[in-house]
Structure 1
Amino acid sequence: MKNIANLLLVSVFAGVITLGAYKLFFEQNTYIFGDSETTPYTTASYTPTSAKGAGINEVDFTSAAERTVNAVVHVKNVAINNGPKNIMEFLYGYETDSRPQVKGAGSGVIISPDGYIVTNNHVIDGASQLQITLNDNTTYQAELIGTDPNSDIALIKVDTNHMLPYLAFGDSDNAKIGEWVLAVGNPFNLTSTVTAGIVSAKARSLGGSNQSFIQTDAAVNPGNSGGALVNTNGDLIGINTAISSQTGSYVGYSFAVPSNIAKKVIDDILEYGNVQKGILGIKTPSLNTPYAIEKGLNELTGIFIDGVEEDSGAADANLERGDIIKKIDEVKIKNFPQLNGYLATKRPGDEVQVTIEREGELLTIPVVLKERQTIILPIMDLEVKNLNDKDRKDFRTKKGVKIVGVSERYEGYGLDGKVLLAVGDNEINDINDAKVLFGKITKYHSTSITMLNKKGEKERIILQ
């Protein structure tokens, strides 16, 4: 029995030695991945995987949201109804107390500890009273400081005895497409609502306007208007203003006034009482016309100058029709909303470096921006400009505005080149006066308009 056990142990050791020798000296390692003669491979990333996971989970929105919600307020637009409550009051003239009615609501952003708040003009438009509710449900009455309908920005203020939480303006020019952002506001009267998205586009225009917006896919609904758009650092980079929707509610894209534009508007209101806008003084063609398509202007990268306004910064700098604006300062210009958005941060008297392409050559020309000298008047759609020294001498007048463009409706009336002096009994001093007075013209009453021709003769037309 002992001999059998020894024989079995020797056999096992012999088998192990034989198998080991075969593996070591004779067997070849062969791995087959496919039929190709070349070995297929995949690219692998050796970056350590985050414990939080990938994508949106890598971004921490909590600190930005916590910092923002307390600086965003609910704005209630209250109008006083002075009309009669019922037919008996209308017939017999009973005196009743005026009743406040909520006309609308939106959001606002506190931008200083002493109570200055930025919101949208359309949120506070027509208000008799403004009620502000903070995130802690404290309510204040606010006063309107100033507004700019063109940019849809308004500044209001509350009086308080203690310091309020606020957000400082960030630099919207540094916002990047694809960057995460938060929209904070009061949609549908739901206070302190935070939504997240990315910057979808910059220098976006809406409804044919040339205003420059930041486009995002953060959910924004009625009531968000005037609220904050912030990045993940909590920097205020925009004021939420509009949505693009056929239903009136959010369907995918929202739009914010860039913070650099909003800040400039607020600074102007505080310093000057109105918005100081510096312009180049160029004319651009409509890109969807057959002329523009035939000439390839709709495919240009840059701004094609189709004309230069008289007495403008562009005229002083000798910019010419046919020049293509490629860059202003260090900002590349691709379209007119982008140009308009950059210039909206400038004032009359500011100098910008305009890089143009002229006959295949790039030139950089300094241009001093000026106040707008021309404007399109409401009702008649006349283009008028302020008088210069030559005009005052030629027409022998110190007041009025010169007609430099006439709409098709009035082409046969011989208006072009004449000076508008008055609307009714109200004299016109400049284009701002003309805009206000023409804006008051109504189709329900006839209006007399006084003009001056090149012979120094006064003429009158009656609008009915």
Structure 2
Amino acid sequence: MLGLVLLFAQTSLALARAAPESFADLAEKVSPAVVNITTRTTIAGHTGASPMVPEGSPLEDFFRDFMNPPEGQEGPRPPRRSQALGSGFVISEDGFIVTNNHVIEKADEIEIEFFSGRTLDAEVVGTDPNTDIALLKVESDEPLPYVDFGDSETMRVGDWVMAMGNPLGQGFSVSAGIVSASGRALSGTYDDYIQTDAAINRGNSGGPLFNMDGDVVGVNTAILSPTGGSIGIGFAMSSSVVTNVVEQLKEYGETRRGWLGVRIQDVTPDMAEAMGLGDARGAAITDVPEGPAAEAGLKSGDVILSFDGVDVDDTRGLVRQVGETAVGKTVDVTVFRDGETRRIDVTLGRRETAEGAVPAAATPEEAAPQEQELLGMTLVPLNDEFRKQLELGGNTEGLVVKDIDEVGEAYEKGLRAGDVITEAGQRKVTSVENLEERIEEAREAGRKSLLLLVRRQGEPRFVALSVLEE
């Protein structure tokens, strides 16, 4: 009996891992909703200087002929037409189409080709460069075949997926693979990419990535490649991000993201220890410019532990959650401050119209700068001369790192000469004596580290330095 049970278990596992017998039925089902996109753009004639080409180079004649007008023609070369190809997919029978923003950006004309060979002109409804998503619209006398979005959050690493599009201008093409990874970030604030080994090449941009039910779980956007061709590392923006963007573009023609109004950074283990926070989680507030957070009473040094009832693990998750929250909504924010948690209600503003006003600080007290070495740094209080050299506002207070020990902990953790320490132990410092007091307070409280708020070219970040006596 035991042998039969083991055999059955192995057979079930083999079935679970088996590849689909064919993708043909799925491809036939979704192909009518996938489109090729051709854009045409007018490029102005060249009027600037020619590129620098070494004398005697084989390219010298080419660039001279290309950059200069033909003999007998005065002035710059006339404008020329450029054509580009991409992919997309229809999401409603009345003609809304999703693609990448970079596919249609700056296009004068956009032509949609359907699987049947039919072509229609498209207009741009709205774009979102932050997620590289664009929404188009075509007018049709008859209902168009379309596909639905699926839930990318349910996709697991190893699940089968199928990509469709117009790679290298070769027309409708299908490739299949698996989800190689999820939650990838490339460079954008709201990135949440599915990584796949399904072949994606130039021209696939804007096309759909399907699950095995024929639902769109991603929009093919980018590849990682040293050659420009597919090497099995492709990225599709997850449908959980795209659906929210598309809904806003459809309703408003633009995105309307929630805005909290704070600068934040991840909490490291030594920062958590310096703050008395049990676990290294949440988002530490480094600055609170004028905006919703400041009006609600959030402060620099607070650690956001939850937002609108959802635990905050890191800054990336918080930024995305805030951006997906409705403008004007009042949310509950739980922060860690002075050793205890507090709940604060914040009414969100709109990120797209937010003004980055810097809050006024107290007028600095002028005093003769006195250098002193602490924590592996040579420190001196800010004065007008330093403010001018470092291009700081007249109200900025703190200690300038004049020099730093390059084998010390401060240098190892990224501090450099020219940085300005504005807070220590989550309180302002305007003199070396202030910093010495914070160090002693941290030692008396049994802390191993002291949390510093450091600004470089106006950008703040927290750094925890050891205060243990040698």
SS in 1 for 2:106: coil
Per the alignment, residue 149 of structure 2 pairs with 169
Cα shift at 1:228 = 0.9
Q: 1:369 aligns with which of 333, 348, 372?
A: 348
Greater C-alpha Rg: 1
Cα shift at 1:160 = 1.7
Counterpart amino acid of residue 122 in structure 2: A
Counterpart amino acid of residue 152 in structure 2: S
Per the alignment, residue 405 of structure 1 pairs with none
Between the aligned partners of 1:266 and 1:416, the Cα distance in structure 2 is 44
Equivalent residue runs for 1:107-256 within 5 Å? 107-207=87-187, 209-219=188-198, 220-256=200-236
Q: 2:298 aligns with which of 292, 299, 319?
A: 319
Query: Aligned pair 1:101/2:82, yes or no?
Result: yes
**8 Å contact kept, 2:126–2:136:** yes
SS in 2 for 1:232: coil
Per the alignment, residue 347 of structure 1 pairs with 326
Cα shift at 1:226 = 0.7
Between the aligned partners of 2:125 and 2:388, the Cα distance in structure 1 is 39
Q: 1:262 aligns with which of 226, 237, 242?
A: 242
Question: TM-score with structure 1 length normalisation?
Answer: 0.62
Counterpart amino acid of residue 162 in structure 1: E
Cα shift at 1:183 = 2.2
Cα shift at 1:53 = 4.2
Between the aligned partners of 2:29 and 2:216, the Cα distance in structure 1 is 11
Between the aligned partners of 1:361 and 1:355, the Cα distance in structure 2 is 10
Per the alignment, residue 449 of structure 1 pairs with none
| Deviation digits for residues 299-354 of structure 1 (CA, Å, limit 9, x no counterpart) | 93332222333222x33443343433344446544333322233332231134444
Between the aligned partners of 2:14 and 2:280, the Cα distance in structure 1 is 45
In structure 2, do the counterparts of structure 1 residues 341 and 63 end up closer, same or farther at CA, with 3 Å as the change threshold? farther
In structure 2, do the counterparts of structure 1 residues 51 and 283 end up closer, same or farther at CA, with 3 Å as the change threshold? closer
Query: Which region of structure 1 is more displaced relative to structure 2, 132-141 or 409-418?
Result: 409-418
**8 Å contact kept, 1:229–1:240:** yes
In structure 2, do the counterparts of structure 1 residues 253 and 43 end up closer, same or farther at CA, with 3 Å as the change threshold? farther
Counterpart amino acid of residue 135 in structure 2: L
**8 Å contact kept, 2:267–2:284:** no
Per the alignment, residue 79 of structure 1 pairs with 41
Query: Which region of structure 1 is more displaced relative to structure 2, 325-334 or 180-189?
Result: 325-334
**8 Å contact kept, 1:199–1:214:** no
Cα shift at 1:294 = 10
SS in 1 for 2:250: helix
Between the aligned partners of 2:272 and 2:339, the Cα distance in structure 1 is 20
Between the aligned partners of 2:196 and 2:287, the Cα distance in structure 1 is 37
Equivalent residue runs for 1:41-60 within 5 Å? 44=6, 46-47=8-9, 49=11, 53-57=15-19
SS in 2 for 1:250: coil
Query: Which region of structure 1 is more displaced relative to structure 2, 237-246 or 354-363?
Result: 354-363
Between the aligned partners of 2:211 and 2:45, the Cα distance in structure 1 is 46
Per the alignment, residue 402 of structure 2 pairs with none
Between the aligned partners of 1:409 and 1:228, the Cα distance in structure 2 is 52
Listed as ranges, the gaps of 5+ residues in structure 2 are 47-64, 361-385, 397-470
In structure 2, do the counterparts of structure 1 residues 223 and 330 end up closer, same or farther at CA, with 3 Å as the change threshold? farther
**8 Å contact kept, 2:127–2:253:** no
Between the aligned partners of 1:188 and 1:215, the Cα distance in structure 2 is 22
Aligned-pair Cα RMSD in Å: 4.2
SS in 2 for 1:262: helix
Cα shift at 1:99 = 5.7
Per the alignment, residue 27 of structure 1 pairs with none
Cα shift at 1:280 = 1.7
**8 Å contact kept, 2:289–2:358:** no
